[in-house]
Amino acid sequence: MLGLALAIDYSLFMTSRFREELRRGRTVGDAVAIAVATSGKAVAFSGVAVAAGLSGLLAFDAPALRSFGIGGMLTVVASLFFALTFLPALLGMLGPRVNKLSVAGLAARFRRGRQAQRHDAAGPAPSRWGWMAERVMAHPIAVLVPTLAILLAAGSPFLHLEQGLPGSSTLPKGLESREAAVSLETRFQTGTTMPMIILADVQGDPTSAANIKAVLDYQAKVAAVDGVTSVSGPFSGLVNPAAGAPLTTDQITALFGQPQSAWPARLAALWKNDVAGSTVKLTVVSSIRADSPAGAKMVPVIRGLAAGTGLTAQIGGYAAISHDFLQAQSDRIPVAITTVMIAMAVILFLLFGSVVLPIKAILMTLLSISASFGALVWIFQDGNFSGALNFSTPGFTMAGVPIIMFCVLFGLSMDYEVLLLSRVQEAWRRTGDNRASVAEGLAKTAGVITGAALIMISVFAAFSLAETLTIKSMGVGMAIAVFVDATIVRVLLVPATMRLLGRWNWWAPGPLKHLADRVGFDHAEFDETEPGARAEGAGG
């Protein structure tokens, strides 16, 4: 997903700026230099932002999440490397021929009598976006309040998020392994396919009277937990064949006290399967599915039971794996989110020299992501559109999907933010007019951002065709997030908030402002009033 989306996005950003500079009358060399110094810088920072977002996944101990982060970061680095090396070389080789097969150019040739294509900053398409920005900034409060209300309402389903590890129900229908698991759960005793396993360690000989009593007492406590159907082990289920009644603790002790050669075959099999050294295995069957959030919630209840004197217990099985994964994820989420947001704030500050813009960008991104999370829960957890998307809801959201989406989308959102604000900052440095700068920035980038978003949405939405629910939900969720971010956030929220903030958009405390000026990332690269001028600092 990232490889396709980012490579095309970065190519689109750089090529668009290169063509714009050619239309200004610049030489091919100058056009390449300016494209790299402006859009190239934005691409570099957006790539760092995406990689920083994915680095949040390294905060987790689960190898599955860490591998997403590492693989994603490598993909971003590769996309960035080729965008800043191979692409400028290719643009320099193509020169004006980059427009050779443009749709508008072909249409102009077809019309014959009309003037050939020549778009500039005041062309019709950009002016429509500029008109939209002006309309939004004319009534910022009237736009901001209802838009915020819509996004918050869209994100409200996320408040009842339930996460679980994917089980057989998330596999494609018709798959033999899924159908076998469904048959076992529906036609046989629930819970037998994924029981909870308890390893009880005793002190000394497991067959001593004290240890047998301790194990049986602990079994009784576990069996009393709501949802537990049965608890079996080497000392349970033994029946006196003569009386037909269960053996007492004393009888069980006496039975195991015999030489092993005298044990009945069934007793020897129980011992072989359920005892290893001083460890006794207990099998817990529950009426609650182990691959459900309710099944995972049983684990801390059983772990909270007092095992008894001389007895220690460890809980395993699918439900325990699910609980421990979710708990470990929950413990590390604050670290991951904090790391990502701090990294984004630093990156945007270094690029724009403002402490206000990073805060605004983070809040806008959180809004768009929350809306996509709400859609994720509403569709895949609640089961809406299950027929259209061809899936059966397990009743919960796939564990790991929200945090992976968060880290990926936070970086991708900064992708568009950097592109837009870079053009706004260029205009601001040149004119000092905040409102005009925002309108110009949106006019020059909205078309490119829309095209890039359509590409990214197409790539992500293609994964809705996946039969595996984890991939399907991730693709749909990220497509929705990109749509919200590129339309509602960039076209409505950003102009409205920047209009309200005015000159405060570019404010930073004195020492931080001095630091940003020293670093020098936020300066204007060239003067647009001099078409022949080479981008300042393009070679360094």
Task: Give residue for tokens 């880290």.
Answer: 407
Asked if residues 505 and 354 have their Cβ atoms less than 8 Å apart, the reply is yes
- In eight-state DSSP terms, residue 115 is P
Give the three-state DSSP class for 131: helix
Distances (CA, A) of 439 to 167, 498, 535: 50, 10, 23
What is the per-residue pLDDT across 423-434, written as a single tens digit (0 to 9) for each? 888 888 888 888
Distance CA 37, CA 419 (A): 13
pLDDT at 118 over 70: no
pTM of the model: 0.79
Q: Quote the pLDDT of residue 231.
A: 92
SS3 percent helix, strand, coil of the chain, rounded to 5, is: 70, 5, 25
pLDDT > 70: percent of the chain: 91
Mean pLDDT, rounded, for 410-428:
83
Mean pLDDT, rounded, for 87-106:
84
Q: Which conformational region is residue 432 in: left (phi greater than 0), alpha (psi within -120 to 50 degrees), or beta?
A: left
What is the per-residue pLDDT across 473-499, written as a single tens digit (0 to 9) for each? 999 999 999 899 888 888 889 899 989
What is the per-residue pLDDT across 133-147, written as a single tens digit (0 to 9) for each? 888 898 899 999 999
What is the per-residue pLDDT across 338-382, written as a single tens digit (0 to 9) for each? 988 998 888 888 888 889 988 998 998 898 899 999 999 999 999
Among candidate residues 365, 369, 367, 389, the one with its CA nearest the CA of residue 379: 389
3-state SS, one letter per residue, for 506-528: HCCCHHHHHHHHHHCCCCCCCCC
Q: Quote the pLDDT of residue 246.
A: 79
Among candidate residues 411, 415, 418, the one with its CA nearest the CA of residue 354: 418
Q: Quote the pLDDT of residue 58.
A: 92
Distances (CA, A) of 432 to 353, 354, 416, 523: 15, 15, 23, 14
pLDDT at 337 over 50: yes
Helices in 189-292 by DSSP H: which ranges?
Answer: 209-223, 249-256, 265-274
Give the chain's end-to-end CA distance (angstroms, integer). 32
Distances (CA, A) of 87 to 9, 17, 57, 79, 95: 12, 12, 30, 10, 12
Q: Quote the pLDDT of residue 150.
A: 93
Q: Between 308 and 524, name the one with better pLDDT.
A: 308
138-143 contacts: CB < 8 A, separation 24 or more? 140/495, 140/496, 140/497, 140/499, 140/500, 141/496, 141/500, 143/492, 143/493, 143/496
Amino acid sitting at position 323: H
pLDDT at 537 over 80: no
Which residues, in sequence order, are CB contacts of 339 under 8 Å at separation 6+? 55, 56, 59
pLDDT band at 408 (very low <50, low <70, confident <90, very high): confident
Amino acid sitting at position 473: S
Most confident stretch, 161-170, 276-285, 414-423, 502-511: 276-285
Asked if residues 328 and 61 have their Cβ atoms less than 8 Å apart, the reply is yes
313 strand-pairing partners: 200
Determine which of 201-205, 208-212, 256-260 has the lowest per-residue pLDDT on average: 256-260
Mean pLDDT, rounded, for 102-112:
63
Q: Quote the pLDDT of residue 124.
A: 40
Angle, CA 288 vertex, CA 290 and CA 313 arms, to 5°? 60
Which residues, in sequence order, are CB contacts of 538 under 8 Å at separation 6+? 33, 34, 36, 37, 525
Distance CA 61, CA 419 (A): 34
DSSP H or E stretch at residue 376: helix 356-376
pLDDT band at 91 (very low <50, low <70, confident <90, very high): very high
Buried (b) or exposed (e) across 10-37, using 16+ Cβ within 10 A?
bbbbbbbbbbbbbbbebebebbbbbbbb
pLDDT band at 107 (very low <50, low <70, confident <90, very high): low
β-strand pairing of 279-286 with 275-276: antiparallel
Mean pLDDT, rounded, for 246-273:
82
Helices (H) and strands (E) in the chain, counts: 21, 9
What are the domain boundaries of the chain? Answer: 1-120, 127-160+353-400+415-520, 176-322
What is the per-residue pLDDT across 1-27, written as a single tens digit (0 to 9) for each? 788 878 888 898 899 889 988 988 899
Q: Quote the pLDDT of residue 538.
A: 40
Dihedral angle over CA of 319, 322, 326, 329, nearest 10? 150
Asked if residues 200 and 311 have their Cβ atoms less than 8 Å apart, the reply is yes
Among candidate residues 78, 171, 151, the one with its CA nearest the CA of residue 363: 151
pLDDT at 237 over 90: no
Distance CA 231, CA 233 (A): 7
Q: Residues 270, 271, 273, 278: is their CA dihedral positive or negative?
A: positive
Tokens, residue 109: 């040739």
DSSP H or E stretch at residue 246: strand 245-246
Q: Quote the pLDDT of residue 134.
A: 87
β-strand pairing of 397-398 with 163-164: parallel
Mean pLDDT, rounded, for 139-159:
92
Provide the mean pLDDT of the chain. 84
What kind of fold does domain 127-160+353-400+415-520 have according to CATH?
A: Multidrug efflux transporter AcrB transmembrane fold (1.20.1640)
Tokens, residue 519: 């670093």
Q: Quote the pLDDT of residue 112.
A: 53
